[in-house]
Structure 1
Amino acid sequence: MSKKKAGKIGVLLVNLGTPDSPNTPDVRKYLREFLLDPRVIDINPVGRYALVNGIIAPFRAPKSAIVYKQLWTERGSPLLYHGLDLKVKLQTALGDDYHVAFGMRYQSPSIKSALEELRDKSVDRIIVLPLFPQYAAASTGSVQDKVMEIVREWWVIPSINFISSFCDDPGFINAFAELGKQHMEQDNYDHVIFSYHGLPERQVLKGSDKGYCQLGACCNTYNKRNKYCYRAACFATSRLLAEKLGLREDQYTVTFQSRLLKDPWLQPYTDEVLKTLPAKGIKKVLAYSPAFVADCLETTIEVGEEFKEMFEHAGGEKWQLVESLNSNDTWVEALREMILKH
């Protein structure tokens, strides 16, 4: 008897999301969906609704729209087209035994549409890969939550496997190190900044192994007790990248950007640290943003332009952003290997 051929394996790539256009109404719509997620702003529902709809969305949307217009290209939002390019390249790399779909946690293309695409292909099982290297309940956890919310309505639910973190994956580290080395070959930098998206300290503490997390030296190692600690994961990525780049401990700094509201967020803050560097004789900085695998507002505009302006105003000479992985061939191969392991 001939053996029945196994069905395809579905791969779902998910990134955060982007407005449909850089116009204020679309930016406001995006901000509302994003910030009303209880995993993003984790306060009581009434307070969250009032804060987002009464203050943040009305007043922040017009300002954010101006920035999105700077970011927008002929192909639209970089976060979107880099994701679609990655989908195509990964599909080619994996071959016909796989079907790769791409969705956004917020806005379009939705996670639901991507899951329906996989269901239409009658895949035997699904590997869900949120494109966030370091696990956080507000990013990876939110994607996992949304996927489970959608598939629980299906009559037949295939096996689903989540890749929750790849902060220390060798392929991911090699791909980012490769990009940094290209810049380091062109100029001598005094220091490297690894700037990660921030999180409120309370969110890190809420998810910590009881009694272990101190938001301090506990992050000097990455182990079973803190493998889902965002801060520990950021430091783990930085140590591995620094090793690949041949950096000593005093040649790099880990910082956090993009804080919102007045609660204490993970520190040190990137914008505060960079202003102090020129006075220490650090005039040339290579800046990484390793929490993002695709260029977006937080990398291209915040790190690449706003921080550059701050650094130069403080007396710095050169601030160079290391571009994100996007659909880089080394990154595609890293993803292929990651998926084959699962």
Structure 2
Amino acid sequence: MLPPDHPIIPRARIGVLIINLGTPDAADTRAVRRYLAEFLSDRRVVELPKLLWQPILRGAVLTTRPKKSAHAYQQVWTDAGSPLAAVTRAQAEALKGAFGDDVLVDWAMRYGNPSIGDRLAAMKAAGCERILLAPLYPQYCAATTATANDKAFLALAGMRWQPALRTLPPYYDDPAYIDALARNVTTQLAKLDFEPDTIIASFHGMPKRTLELGDPYHCHCRKTARLLSDALGRPLNVAFQSRFGPAKWLEPATDITLEQLAAQGQRKVAVLAPGFSADCLETLEELAIRGRESFVAAGGTHFAYLPCLNDGAEGIAMLRTLLARELEGWVRAA
């Protein structure tokens, strides 16, 4: 007979933790500074020597950037919080019950809340002895996929009884992903009151040196664009957004591309962001607001931002397909 203070072991379950980049807790300077301090201190994100980078971060960057970023967040903040948190939460809700009663679906952010460590601990306490980590980055990058996995592995290092882990591979060329993108883009284009002269596929940028060091991100983005172009039956202009700092970044840059297209007489443009699984600051403020402004200022007449897959039917069906595949052997096919 067990002693009265012996912990009760819950019935064995399986966990699925979907993960996205992160968000501040509020659209104010203090919360954004706290978020940026964590984000930009990640050695996977800024690959500079700590002794060189931290004085710059704690000085110029965290003194000036939070106020500007807070203003940007205020342009897109919702009653449910940041768009990224709201959508990721909705994705997790839509997936609950998709893989059976013994599979717990939850969500976390690499930076900010809810944290990966907290949600893994909650899953373990709920009886999850096997957990699938699902960073929702279609294209692999050390600064996104790898750091999310790093954080999960670090959390496990502090556990006496560790759950078994699997990780979702990048799905940049998966037929389910390309098909979902093509269906979503086709639907969005049909809703426009104009025919775009061109379509831009804008991916988040990375310093060019990451490509030279062997990161496959650039190649994954290019292949996604090529496969999506084939599926749509029309060409796509590939560009990279969100440059930061003096380093040379992947090109061509989205903002410059928009200005050049308008100057060349291509006055009607649609922009999509196939590297993002959920709309966020970089899509809703940087592309849909500032992208439009720069395109119109350069002579463009019609601009449309096409939303991400988010928690729409195509996106959730795709996630169910990908996650069910990775759960094979742990659960029966849903």
Q: TM-score, normalised by structure 2?
A: 0.91
Contact 2:184 2:314 in 1 (8 A): no
- Provide the rounded CA distance (Å) in 1 between the counterparts of 2:244 and 2:238: 19
Contact 1:166 1:172 in 2 (8 A): yes
> Residues 44-91 of structure 1, C-alpha deviation per residue, up to 9 Å, x if partnerless?
011121121111111100111111111111111111111111111111
Please, which of 232, 239, 248 is the counterpart of residue 245 of structure 1? Answer: 232
- Between the two proteins, the alignment pairs up a number of residues equal to 314
- Provide the rounded CA distance (Å) in 1 between the counterparts of 2:67 and 2:189: 38
1:94 Cα offset (Å): 2.3
- Provide the rounded CA distance (Å) in 2 between the counterparts of 1:27 and 1:69: 11
Match of 2:302 in 1: 318
Please, which of 328, 331, 335 is the counterpart of residue 312 of structure 2? Answer: 328
1:8 Cα offset (Å): 2.6
SS of residue matched to 2:138: coil
Q: How does 1:115-134 map to 2 (within 5 A)?
A: 115-134=120-139
Contact 1:134 1:165 in 2 (8 A): yes
Q: How does 1:108-257 map to 2 (within 5 A)?
A: 108-185=113-190, 186=192, 187-206=194-213, 208=214, 229-247=216-234, 251-257=235-241
Query: Structure 1 residue 41 and structure 2 residue 28: aligned?
Result: no
Contact 1:101 1:117 in 2 (8 A): no
Contact 1:93 1:333 in 2 (8 A): no
Match of 2:246 in 1: 262
Runs of at least 5 residues in structure 1 that lack an aligned partner in the other structure? 1-5, 209-227
Contact 2:129 2:162 in 1 (8 A): no
Query: Structure 1 residue 93 and structure 2 residue 80: aligned?
Result: no
- Provide the rounded CA distance (Å) in 1 between the counterparts of 2:128 and 2:171: 24
Contact 2:92 2:105 in 1 (8 A): yes
- Provide the rounded CA distance (Å) in 2 between the counterparts of 1:279 and 1:81: 37
SS of residue matched to 1:95: coil
- Provide the rounded CA distance (Å) in 2 between the counterparts of 1:235 and 1:293: 17
- Provide the rounded CA distance (Å) in 2 between the counterparts of 1:11 and 1:130: 10
> Residues 221-271 of structure 1, C-alpha deviation per residue, up to 9 Å, x if partnerless?
xxxxxxx60000001111111112111xxx321110001111111011111
SS of residue matched to 1:196: strand
SS of residue matched to 2:107: strand
- What amino acid is aligned across from residue 310 of structure 1 in structure 2? S
SS of residue matched to 2:143: coil
Match of 2:3 in 1: none
Match of 1:76 in 2: 81
- What amino acid is aligned across from residue 56 of structure 1 in structure 2? V
Q: Which runs of 4+ in 1 moved over 6 A?
A: none
- Provide the rounded CA distance (Å) in 2 between the counterparts of 1:320 and 1:307: 10
Contact 2:178 2:227 in 1 (8 A): yes
Query: Structure 1 residue 272 and structure 2 residue 256: aligned?
Result: yes
Instruction: Please provide the CA RMSD for this pair.
Output: 1.3
1:184 Cα offset (Å): 2.3
- Provide the rounded CA distance (Å) in 2 between the counterparts of 1:164 and 1:54: 37
- What amino acid is aligned across from residue 245 of structure 2 in structure 1? L
1:282 Cα offset (Å): 1.2
Match of 1:56 in 2: 61
- Provide the rounded CA distance (Å) in 1 between the counterparts of 2:123 and 2:188: 39
- Provide the rounded CA distance (Å) in 1 between the counterparts of 2:101 and 2:174: 25
- Provide the rounded CA distance (Å) in 2 between the counterparts of 1:204 and 1:99: 37
SS of residue matched to 2:133: strand
1:31 Cα offset (Å): 0.4
- What amino acid is aligned across from residue 149 of structure 1 in structure 2? L
> Residues 185-241 of structure 1, C-alpha deviation per residue, up to 9 Å, x if partnerless?
2431111101111001112222x2xxxxxxxxxxxxxxxxxxx60000001111111
- What amino acid is aligned across from residue 165 of structure 1 in structure 2? P
SS of residue matched to 2:307: coil
Match of 1:286 in 2: 270
- Provide the rounded CA distance (Å) in 2 between the counterparts of 1:49 and 1:151: 27
Contact 2:97 2:103 in 1 (8 A): no
1:173 Cα offset (Å): 1.8
Identity rate, percent? 37
